[in-house]
Chain A
Amino acid sequence: MGYVAVQGGREAIERACDLYESSRSGRNSSPLGLDQIREQLPLAVDRVMGEGGLYAPDHAALSLRQAAGDTFEASLLLRAHRATLPRLAESLDCSSSSMRMVRRISSAFKDVPGGQVLGPTSDYTLRLLDFEILEDPLARRQLIRDRLFDGRIDEEEVPDEFPRVVELLRAEGLVEDVETGEDEPFDITRRSLVYPAPRSARLQAMARGETGGMLFLAYSSMRGYGHIHPTLAELRVGYVPLLVRNPLTGEDVVAGEVLATEADVVSRFSDPEGQPRFHVGYGMCFGQNEVKAISMGVLDRCMRAATPSSPAEDQEFVLSHIDGIESMGFSNHWKLPHYVDFLSDLDRLRKAQEVDRARR
């Protein structure tokens, strides 16, 4: 019988879910531990936390495992979980100058106060597939630890604070002051965006934006569809303390710290009316995700163009398309049945063909 959808649907769907679960959990390999994901795929965990808009490394690791490594799906799991959580408190403003630094570089100067701190990065590795890793990973881990720590503890004092390069430039009057004109930041998790969107909303939307989508737009601007030739005044990765005010005592307490990447982008002056000063763009996101922070800095600058002349400068265009959860969901929804609309389309086409035949 051709009419099976009503009876067979539920059962088929449940078995499809089982099949996915079964193929995801592997055949003979040992199950993936959350600690393994968190420690050995930290950049994936960071990316999911950022795009999911929830700083929770354990949950992010769980979602990555459940989503079989798909960062779009993993971010969705995280964000949907977030929707069930009540908001208990709001953190206080924090300055990233008190960041516990892991990595900090400036490409604008050879050296900067506080120094260049390379930190963990694959920037300087040769991208050769390393088959030796397969042979004895534990011995290799030990070897690298020895190399890193042997006799080098306390060799150099790490400063408590690293002044932001862009602030040094600002003190000299070389970069613009960005007026936001906002008393309270816009909350994109509670309100729908309105255009033109205030800067706080733009930055929030980008902080949750999908890395690839933002890179694509920022890249288009750097490459020529736009005018942004960025200089990275500073890129920082480190732990930012999260301050919360105790509602009873009124005391500010550190509730924890959040690993974040921050990028300050400066670009050449272009305002013939105002004072000649560098323009700035700011990017910040959860975890270590340097491509995203830089893209965000570039886009922040792009979207302040008075009259948009390229896609990356049009804030409605950028902000309504960078959310990975929205764009992934909608692209996938075309897999849902559309036979009613399609039939309606067929009806219009047949009618138009009739008219066309009659006209000829």
Chain B
Amino acid sequence: MLAGEWLSGGAGRKTTWGFLDDGAKKDVRRALLKAVAIPGYQVPYGSREMPLARGWGTGGIQITLSLLSPEDVVKVIDQGCDGSVNAVNIKKFYERVGGVETTTDTREATLIQTRHRIPEERMDAGQILVLQVPYPEALREVEPSEANTRRMHAEADYARMWLHLYEDVVHYGEIRLAYRYPCTVNGRHVMDPSPIPRWDVPKLHMADTLFLFGAGREHRIYAVPPHTRVEPLEFEDHKFRVEDFHGKSCSRCGATDTFLDEILGPDGTRTFYCSDTGYCDKRRR
């Protein structure tokens, strides 16, 4: 019989609890410790292949798997939504290899894995948020070479990133960076907060929660520990601004203080709903 048959539900063989072998989990945890010790610094690590394609959350999954214990309650969201294709797929994977309980309630979860959003409800000190990261390098916008960006971080040489923003203001009157908004962490490293909207960036600042970032394809892990300064790059006379939902509200729960998805109707009308579906459901109950 082939050793891989468990993948298709075959008889007999079982894989390790939590999929990854223990050596790999230890590797990831070592990288996590280093990441927490140097907030915002990208720690290179030996990223393993996951049974999902690269770019589909393999970095986040490796972090979650190496932290997971049978008592954990896991929530997985994509674009804020618990039912999104990728979130469902990843959740199924955790149920299968860890047998863990899952939830859609932010407050109930011990571990939340997310792509592109931070939940609306403030998380507490007992919780961990794992963010999936496509581009760990905030400076990639201005410099394609990894050898160069690593040097720039080492020397805190961020003038080119700032210049990029300056040029945007001069040419467009606005900073064009919409999501993946670069932030200075702990007054030192410029960090890519993953493709969360600007709306979510302030939630990283002086939070009670540990934020862990995993970029599987790029082999990088980084972290924002609780109570750490996370400051979006901004000018004294051109401040960072979140998305503008002024005068709009969720058509489902009526919320006026959440990030809203815009849905186009066939007749061209626009309707707005909370992007955080778990929160929206809770408000309706």
Contact = CB atoms under 8 A, between A and B. Distances in A.
A and B: interacting chains: yes
Interface of A: 2-3, 5-10, 13, 58-59, 62-63, 66, 76-77, 79-87, 187-196, 316, 320, 325-333, 336-341, 343-348, 351-352, 355-356, 359
A196 B3 CA distance: 37
Contacts of B262: 343, 346
B75 interface: no
Contacts, number: 183
Contacts of A328: 53-54
B83 interface: yes
13 contacts: A3-B273, A5-B81, A62-B4, A77-B51, A85-B21, A190-B46, A320-B146, A332-B56, A337-B85, A338-B195, A340-B261, A343-B262, A347-B244
B79 A340 contact: yes
Nearest to A331: B55
Interface string B151-184: 0000000000000000000001111111110000
A194 B45 CA distance: 11
B222 interface: no
A333 B134 contact: yes
B145 A316 contact: yes
A280 B226 CA distance: 53
A-B interface, 3 closest residue pairs, ranked by CB to CB distance from nearest:
A329-B54, A333-B55, A329-B53
Binding site secondary structure of chain A: helix
Interface of B: 2-4, 7-8, 15-16, 19-21, 23-24, 27, 44-56, 58, 78-86, 88-89, 115-117, 134, 145-147, 172-180, 195-199, 217, 219-220, 243-244, 252, 259, 261-263, 265, 271, 273, 275, 277, 281
Contacts of A325: 49, 53-54
Given A80-B49, A83-B20, A333-B55, A351 B244 contact: yes
Contact of B83 (A6, A347, A351): A6
B197 A76 contact: no
Binding site secondary structure of chain B: loop
B174 A345 contact: no
A340 B44 contact: no
A255 to B, nearest CB: 17
Given A84-B19, A337-B79, A343-B197, A191 B46 contact: yes
A59 B3 contact: yes
B265 to A, nearest CB: 8
A193 B219 contact: yes
B173 A10 contact: no
A330 B13 CA distance: 31
For B51, B80, B83, the residue with the greatest tally of chain A CB atoms inside 10 Å of its CB is B83
B56 A333 contact: yes
Contacts of B145: 195, 316
Nearest to B196: A340
B86 A336 contact: yes
Given A337-B79, A339-B261, A329 B217 contact: yes
Given A83-B20, A83-B50, A341 B56 contact: no
Contacts of B219: 192-193
B23 A58 contact: no
Contacts of B176: 348, 352
Nearest to A59: B4
